[in-house]
Amino acid sequence: MINIIPAIDLIDGKCVRLTKGDYNQKKEYSASPLDMALRYQDIGISRLHIVDLDGAKSSSPKNLHVLEEIATRTSLDIEWGGGIKSDEALRDAFNAGANHLIIGSVAANQPERFAHWLDSYGGERLILGADISEGRVAINGWLEQSELTIEELIDRFRPHGLREVICTDITKDGMLQGPTFELYARLQAAYPEQDIIVSGGISCMDDIRRLDEMKLRHVIVGKAIYEGRIGLEEIKQFTI
């Protein structure tokens, strides 16, 4: 059964969602990050996806106080991304309570550093974040586009114990139009030893059921929950 990973995106310590990664298309939600995390824990969710959008635009995490609060008040397995671009930021995020860190820009721009981190911390603690647009990897909070493909990134780090890859199709993110099913099926078939985590575009439970039937292992869900298209009771069926 596919593992549903709810998402919390942060700007100024508040829950937000962007459309296609555009910071100018931001919607803020009233529930606090901790309240959302507690709700997810109550229905049996085990893993939470948190992105520090302020950190993603800058050179270091900016919302670690939120991470520390959620890590202290819940038993959730937390994957955290945004602004992890230095050894210090890496240590700070782990010390604040992250169980896993998502590395995107460093993997694309400084592959030797990410390879070293993988060798040091292990693939069970570091996740490759590959945000793609028109077939190319985007970096620095989706504000820049590299020349790399996701396959080139995965191939680069497989020898260093890479185990998980979050692939976000930016063209689908926040659009509530369904994910790019074929992309994820192709990647998972090509890399059976890695978990390809679906991210971007989930609009309803039917999307999740289809991914489950396609043998995808993990899916991140964000805006569809906040907009009421997927209810917590529906998610609960996948946590039993």
Instruction: Report, as residue numbers or ranges, the catalytic residues.
Output: 9, 131
Compute how many other C-beta atoms are within 10 angstroms of the C-beta atom of residue 134: 9
19 CA to centre of own chain: 15
State the pairing for strand pair 3-11/47-52.
Answer: parallel
State the pairing for strand pair 47-52/77-81.
Answer: parallel
Which one, of 129, 118, 110, lies nearest residue 7 by Cα? Answer: 129
Compute how many other C-beta atoms are within 10 angstroms of the C-beta atom of residue 88: 11
Contact 32, 8 (CB under 8 A): no
